[in-house]
Structure 1
């Protein structure tokens, strides 16, 4: 067996575990969950005002979420990238809309995080078989971070 395969058997779980621990810590420190009543931490954190109640968006959330986790193929690495990408997308997009130093998670922001994850899964299909799982995790971090910056700049230009 080549040394590359043995090295990847050790490197990938370590990198994935470290990234997930960092994500858990960031969620514990910065994330609060929207109660759906529109109060608690002041005004909405972004410029777009949504009149819909959270449950009005739930059917769209289900459709997008199914597309992310099943529509792109149920390969093991796809599920890993989708799960990690959704978490990272919530954090990265939330950084641009901090509310009293906290990232407020709502169903609308989860849908946006799903769309940021879709960009990674599309790219994943292009490099499948040519990249290692560690490279795919790094690609996920970079792509979602750039997606979030781009989205913020476009929204800022529209305002």
Structure 2
């Protein structure tokens, strides 16, 4: 897979290609043609949890790419939330500071939804569509204050 664009790109084409790649993969995953949930979780965590300093274009690109996963495969990801990782996946998940027994938790799902809403002003329709898709899947369960829960129970 092509490496994520950086702030050193000469134009916007690599950013659009990165978003399109995630859009394509998320559609295939959403209809169960491929299994790539680790790519989805990595994209979501990188966009919505990383606090590393980055330029605005890279941050926007990451959020738009992550939004594709919730727009096109939120239902599959929601179901995955209640799954146990395979032994092969467990080691890689642990390298992501995975500490729970599930692939990811309701707390993380709610945090991601909250972050899409937060970024909707800057990102626009894709972030709104991602949060709306998540609401449709989880039946708009209210999110709780997630600040203290960010690094616990997931």
* TM-score of the aligned structures, taking structure 2 as reference length: 0.28
Structure with higher helix content: 1
Q: Which has the larger radius of gyration?
A: 1
